[in-house]
Amino acid sequence: MGNSTFTNARTVLLGAQASQVALPICDHYSGVAVRMQKSLQLQQELAQEFGGVCVFDVTLDCEDGAPVGGEEEHAHLVAELAQAAAPGMRVAARFHAVDHPSFLSDVQIVIGKAAGRLCHVMIPKVDTLDDVNRAVQALDAAGAGDVPVHALIESPLAVRNAFEIAAHPRIQSLSFGLMDFVSAHGGAIGEDGMSAQGQFSHPMVVRAKLEMAAACHAQGKTPSHCVVTEFTDAQRIEQAAHRAASELAYSRMWSIHPSQIRPILKAFSPDRAAIDTALAIVEAAQAAQWAPISFKGVLHDRASYRYYWQILERAQRTGQSLPPVAQQWLAGSVQ
């Protein structure tokens, strides 16, 4: 650990992907005025609790949050709340779909007032690469700069095009839209496909989730899992989040109620044994200057070092306690 030639491990192990943002595990959606305000307050409270780490994004919702006929007024409210968010907190906005009459006004109002405050924008109902290009063109025209774009995959066509959509340079993350995806099948997928359990057993839903996650990983983007509508059942939410992470390779998940945030964080967090193993292997790897090592009779090299480094990154993003030296590693400050 005293090697003066130490290079940031993230760069050594992840290469080009090291420059990509490691997003918070949870993306919390809110669209009603009082709930948006409470969500932003809760974000600050949890950041303080977890040592200054912003453990979830708050996405202010122009699509489902706006009353019919009040879309412009709601967009102004979203922009004002984003502007007023506390420093260091991550705030995003979901606009209407690109073919909705309110899309351009959403963009012009929110970007015009709060472009510099947004960590990303979410575009729903993206079916094709052309939809992404239309969204980016509108964002650029409104002065969005290089704000990242997240897209919702909500139809069979979108799943078909997920690899192409994920490859767009402005796309940072794809989210799976469960309820719209089921509805898009005209009743061919039953109601149970939208439930906390059925969404992990119906073959068409599971296939779509896997395709989207694979598209994201192929392009170095973040796959974000869909909602669990049974928001009063914390155990069910935690189980769904655990399955999304452990079975379907998702690294982020939506929350639609404050009670879902902690179960999601818990499910996506590595356990203490995994963290301790990762600490020991990364320390031994660093001492060997990233050459292969034997650890408890098992060979490890840069492929497994990469895995254990990402365990530490996920521990940090979920507010887990790490020793000071690991915090220095993650900050790239070890000399």
Query: Of 227, 245, 268, which residue sits at a domain end?
Result: 268
321 and 284 within one domain: yes
Establish if 310 belongs to a structural domain: yes
Task: Print the domain residue range for 213.
Answer: 22-268
Which of the four pLDDT bands, split at 50, 70 and 90, describes residue 138? Answer: very high
114 and 36 within one domain: yes
Q: Give the range among 129-143, 259-273, 320-334 with minimum mean pLDDT.
A: 320-334
Question: pLDDT tens-digit profile of 187-233?
Answer: 999 999 999 999 999 999 999 999 999 999 999 999 999 999 888 88
Q: How many CB atoms lie within 10 A of CB 164?
A: 13
- For 4-109, where are the E strands, in sequence order? 26-30, 56-61, 91-94
313 and 251 within one domain: no
257 and 159 within one domain: yes
259 and 160 within one domain: yes
Q: Which residues pair with residue 252 across a beta bridge?
A: 224
Count structural domains, the chain.
Answer: 2
Q: Is the dihedral of CA 331, 305, 17, 222 positive or negative?
A: negative
284 and 208 within one domain: no
- pLDDT above 70 covers a percentage of the chain that reads 95
Distance CA 88, CA 146 (A): 18
Q: Which residues pair with residue 153 across a beta bridge?
A: 176
147 and 280 within one domain: no
pTM of the complete model beyond 0.85: yes
Residue-wise over 30-44: b if at least 16 C-beta within 10 A, else e?
A: bbeeebbeebbebbb
Which CATH number characterizes residue 91's domain? 3.20.20.60
Alpha carbon distances (Å) from 43 to 65, 86, 290: 19, 9, 37
Residue-wise over 86-118: b if at least 16 C-beta within 10 A, else e?
A: eeebbbbbbbbbbebebbebbbbbbbebbbebb
| Average pLDDT score, the chain | 92
The pLDDT of residue 335: 36
Q: Give the range among 50-54, 93-97, 257-261 with minimum mean pLDDT.
A: 50-54
169 and 123 within one domain: yes
Distance CA 143, CA 113 (A): 10
Which of the four pLDDT bands, split at 50, 70 and 90, describes residue 301? Answer: very high
277 and 264 within one domain: no
Query: Of 268, 284, 313, which residue sits at a domain end?
Result: 268
158 and 170 within one domain: yes
The pLDDT of residue 30: 96
248 and 236 within one domain: yes
Asked whether residue 4 carries a pLDDT value surpassing 50, the answer given is no
Structure tokens at 178: 């469960």
Name residues whose C-beta falls within 8 Å of residue 168's C-beta, 6 or more positions apart in sequence. 129, 132, 133, 136, 149
Q: How many CB atoms lie within 10 A of CB 7?
A: 13
180 and 108 within one domain: yes
Asked whether residue 18 carries a pLDDT value surpassing 70, the answer given is no
Query: Of 268, 291, 319, which residue sits at a domain end?
Result: 268
Structure tokens at 129: 């690469």
The pLDDT of residue 16: 57
